[in-house]
Amino acid sequence: MTMTNDVTVVVPTRNRRDLLRATLRSIRGQESVGVRIVVVDEASTDGTIEWLERIGDARLRVVRHDEPRGVAAARNTGLAAVDTRWVAFCDDDDLWAPDKVASQLAALEADAARWCCGGSVMVDGDLGIVDHQRAITGDVLDALLAMNRVPGGGSGVLAETAFVREVGGFDVSLRNSEDWDLWIRLAQRSRLAGVDRPLVAYRMWAGSKSRDLSRMLLAWQTITTRYRELAAARGVEADVARHREYLARQQVRDRRRMTAARTYSRMAFAAKDPKAWPRAVAALVAPAFMDRVGTERASRRVPPEWRAEGDAWLAAHRSSDVIGSVP
């Protein structure tokens, strides 16, 4: 197999043609680097395949699953088709800065690492920036054993193709947090290079997998149990309180009053956190108000330079004529 310095981007998708259009535009628009794309279609029924066939881009390859197998399996199918030195993954509803790939390749070269992440901004339905997550770097194993702290979900990492294959790719038994599990395995073998700038726009919306509370709790239990001995040997404890706060916040966003209130109540009991009681009441009585206040606080914490940079490259994607046109 011939390996080059180009990057192949693996994009799993299912019935999100309109969102995929913008995602592919941001990938195909990468600057100063050769990019190939493998879209793995999970048996879409909304005309995704027909639309992809009309694009006519030699850099784009489409692989189809006859029935949905899950995002981990889709990513692994894409990974098997990669013949470049580097691979990146991007979910079909996220967007990339034009220099994401070039910046990450430069960071990898400077750091002599085998994988790299970038910072991300969380965006609402209108692509307005509502939150952010800084990149992490170095020996990140302890941080990842406590909680997933790699920004951008499955859309933020670029790695050596052989390295991802070496650790076994994504675990198809996981229906959520399969990216976190992979990051832990990568972190056991290599330091992480980081680009601490907003390279990924991560959409916050009701269709996100992170809104499924039962699946998120099951994935958390599975992964923390899987790496319990390793964490104990390194003196690391899983950050249960922070994870539960994240899950509760997601339920508030979806206006799921009872599940949000129960999650905060459990935090009050288990973590003996007195602040969780008023949050439980607010989630039950006024989730919309609570969500608005939380979003405003998170938005104010976004560094001005991050907002300016993110807004600059997101501007093109906010244009209805761009979103509605075939690339």
Encode pLDDT of 227-244 as tens digits.
Answer: 999 999 999 999 988 888
Encode pLDDT of 180-202 as tens digits.
Answer: 999 999 999 999 999 999 999 99
* CATH superfamily name and code, 7-205: Spore Coat Polysaccharide Biosynthesis Protein SpsA; Chain A (3.90.550.10)
CB 167 within 8 A of CB 185: yes
Looking at the chain, the whole-number percentage of residues with pLDDT higher than 70 is 94
Encode pLDDT of 100-146 as tens digits.
Answer: 999 999 999 999 899 999 999 999 989 999 999 999 999 999 999 99
Encode pLDDT of 32-76 as tens digits.
Answer: 999 999 999 999 999 999 999 999 899 999 999 999 999 999 999
Q: Averaging pLDDT over each range in 184-198, 211-225, 260-274, which range is the top one?
A: 184-198
The confidence band for 323, taking pLDDT boundaries of 50, 70 and 90, is very low
pTM: 0.92
Identify which has the larger pLDDT, 28 or 253.
28
The yes-or-no verdict on residue 2 having pLDDT over 50 is: no
The yes-or-no verdict on residue 221 having pLDDT over 70 is: yes
